């Protein structure tokens, strides 16, 4: 008989303890998979009532619990640097990265970054929010979010498996104790509100949880990636109403000589506005929620102008094209621009890397890569970055509180796109990680995420650390680096192995001078890069000039920048960046200019 591993003995010993405890009257046997015995992505399969096996197929490990590395796995682990070492190298040694960024090595390292990150995300998807085992529904039914790890088995003795308290902490207590802002803490990486609003505008293409079906993790989004549905609507009927049906363009209104989204009187689609909100201020946008913040309506306006600008360029080159072809080709160009800006500027700012990020789909053409994507529930949860939001908004010398900012579309037309872009590019956003930095207005969002996570029985934070090849934390103090917070968490959760995922990624101690901690980067980056590069336009079949109407359209995609996006669609070019001004020269007020 094969010898038990140490972990197998530990599982067996704990089973005996549980069965002989004060609950001995209950003869039910604990599901052994509740102990998460299978390591290194091994799959736990229960047999009978008290036996399990770990499926270690293609994990690179073997043994009862997939803990014995095979020869080449052992070599790889020996040579592979830890995530902290890799991050340190990528964020230091400026002289070295200056050389890399101006040589063929940039492509080589960028390809490595893309493949290593993307390989961590299974494709096709494995589990979803209903099933904790592989089945056809998980693959075929795209109305579900997929998920990386199966749910905590329903028959576990404790909410998070076999460790922690019998009842999870009160959600409102968690929000007040660990998330509520004491004093605004700006992001030390220099991230600004232009970035914060882009994060919201961009992710609402694919993060659209269907709250009408609580607990099951359904999404209302028809697409699972960058499809620009936040601009064009997520169904054909909404798109039909938003389109001008002439020259491929979208509907618009002209106010003071400038283009803005139309109102509900011109486009009869559903938008979320408070009751009694003036009809002339009810702007219509692809995403029904984007009227809530002027920063979102600002981006919607910029992309509306960009779409119609590109339509004019395509029409001039293709006078025989009809409205439909102009619209559809322009949409592909817009999707390409979005991905380019997100990778080369947004991800660049987020990472803090000295390696210059590069959007070049051809880097993956000779590697094994699947051009498909499914949005995972865990990705949706960890991407709630509401600590970015400030205490108030500073625009053109005026301080605007939330009470005058939320659902106030008139601010967009009062100040104009240029002044909003300039203001948001200069105002610091908050640090995401470390806790105690969420404005009271957004605390309910954190509560909602935790509530959804519990309903979906998301596995503990440390189990996700293991999944992403990170060392699990052994104590709350190691996790937070703060005695007071560590004690409070231990009192509420009882065991570090019972800490919830969202609490983990938001409260983890931040890396030095970084926007958040190690886990958010190592977990979020694979989801993000796989979703971006897995887009159909990045595939060899699509990535060619004819897809985008010729070399002119292809060039618009390949040379897209945030500055071009703004300055080609405004009367004058404001300071525009995802980073607050780095020096006095950048901070100076700018004169109207068309230079890019």
- Concerning whether 383 is annotated as a catalytic residue, the answer is yes
Give how far the C-alpha of residue 417 lies from the chain's centroid of Cα atoms, to the nearest Å. 26
Main-chain dihedrals φ then ψ at residue 144, nearest 5 degrees: -90, 145
CB 344 within 8 Å of CB 110: no
- Concerning whether 87 is annotated as a catalytic residue, the answer is no
CB 283 within 8 Å of CB 297: yes
CB 195 within 8 Å of CB 335: no
Q: Encode 299-362 in three state secondary structure.
A: HHHHHHHHHHHHHHHHHHHCCCCCHHHHHHHHHHHHHHHHHHHHHHHHHHHHHCCCCCCCCCHH
CB 117 within 8 Å of CB 525: yes
The residue ranges of DSSP E strands in 142-285, in sequence order, are 146-147, 253-255, 258-260
What sign results for the dihedral spanned by CA atoms 270, 274, 279, 283? negative
Residue 416's closest CA among 395, 432, 402, 433? 395
The active-site residue out of 145, 383, 464, 493 is: 383
Q: CA-to-CA distance for 426 and 423, rounded, in angstroms?
A: 5
The active-site residue out of 87, 201, 204, 439 is: 204
Residue 501's closest CA among 526, 523, 474? 523
DSSP assignment of 351-405 equals H--SS-----GGGGTTS--------BHHHHHHT--GGGS-SSEEETTEEE-HHHH
- Record the tokens describing residue 463, joined without a space: 């189990």
- Beta-carbon contacts of residue 50 (< 8 Å; ≥ 6 apart): 15, 29, 30, 32
Question: Could you list the active site residues?
Answer: 204, 383
């Amino acid at each position: 008989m094969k010898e038990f591993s140490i972990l197998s003995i530990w599982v067996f010993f704990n089973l005996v303890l549980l069965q002989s405890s004060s609950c001995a009257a209950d003869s039910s046997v604990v599901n052994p998979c509740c102990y998460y015995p299978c390591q290194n992505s091994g799959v736990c399969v229960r047999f009978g009532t008290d036996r399990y096996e770990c499926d270690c197929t293609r994990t690179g490990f073997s043994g009862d619990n997939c803990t014995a590395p095979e020869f080449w796995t052992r070599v790889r682990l020996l040579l592979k640097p830890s995530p902290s070492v890799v991050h340190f190298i990528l964020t230091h040694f400026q002289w070295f990265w200056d050389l890399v960024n101006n040589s063929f090595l940039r492509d080589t390292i960028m390809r490595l970054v893309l493949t290593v990150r993307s390989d961590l995300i299974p494709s096709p998807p494995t589990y979803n929010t209903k099933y904790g085992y592989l089945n056809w529904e998980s693959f075929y039914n795209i109305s579900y979010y997929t998920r990386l790890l199966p749910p905590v088995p329903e028959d576990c003795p404790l909410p998070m498996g076999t460790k922690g308290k019998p009842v999870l902490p009160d959600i409102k207590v968690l929000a007040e104790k660990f998330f509520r802002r004491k004093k605004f803490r700006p992001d030390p990486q220099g991230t600004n509100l232009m970035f914060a609003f882009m994060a919201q505008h961009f992710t609402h293409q694919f993060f659209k949880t269907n709250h009408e079906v609580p607990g099951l993790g359904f999404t209302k989004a028809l697409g699972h990636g960058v499809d620009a549905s936040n601009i064009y609507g997520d169904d054909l009927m909404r798109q039909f109403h938003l389109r001008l049906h002439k020259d491929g363009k979208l509907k618009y209104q002209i106010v003071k000589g400038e283009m803005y989204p139309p109102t509900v009187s011109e486009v009869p689609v559903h938008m979320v506005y408070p009751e009694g909100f003036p009809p002339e201020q009810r702007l219509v946008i692809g995403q029904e929620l984007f009227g809530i913040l002027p920063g979102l309506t600002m981006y919607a306006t910029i992309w509306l102008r960009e779409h119609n600008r590109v339509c004019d360029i395509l029409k001039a080159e293709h006078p025989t094209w009809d409205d439909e072809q102009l619209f559809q080709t322009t949409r592909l160009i817009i999707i390409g621009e979005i991905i380019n800006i997100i990778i080369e500027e947004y991800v660049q700012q987020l990472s803090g890397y000295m390696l210059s990020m590069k959007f070049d789909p051809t880097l993956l053409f000779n590697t094994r890569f699947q051009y498909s994507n499914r949005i995972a529930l865990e990705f949706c949860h960890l991407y709630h970055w509401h600590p970015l939001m400030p205490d108030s908004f500073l625009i053109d010398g005026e301080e605007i509180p939330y009470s005058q900012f939320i659902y106030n579309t008139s601010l967009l037309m009062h100040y104009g796109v240029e002044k909003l872009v300039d203001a948001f590019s200069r105002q610091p956003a908050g640090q995401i990680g470390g806790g105690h930095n969420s404005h009271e207005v957004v605390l309910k969002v954190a509560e909602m995420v935790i509530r959804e996570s519990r309903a979906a029985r998301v596995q503990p934070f440390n189990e996700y650390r293991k999944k992403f090849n990170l060392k699990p934390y052994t104590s709350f103090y190691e996790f937070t680096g703060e005695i007071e917070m560590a004690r409070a968490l231990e009192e509420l959760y009882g065991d570090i192995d019972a800490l919830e995922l969202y609490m983990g990624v938001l409260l983890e101690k931040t890396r030095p001078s970084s926007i958040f901690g190690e886990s958010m980067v190592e977990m979020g980056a694979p989801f993000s890069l796989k979703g971006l590069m897995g887009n159909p336009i990045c595939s060899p079949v699509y990535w060619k000039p004819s897809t985008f109407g010729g070399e002119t359209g292809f060039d618009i995609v390949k040379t897209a920048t945030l500055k071009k996006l703004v300055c080609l669609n405004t009367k004058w070019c404001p300071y525009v960046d995802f980073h607050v001004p780095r020096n006095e020269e950048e901070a100076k007020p700018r004169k109207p200019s068309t230079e890019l």
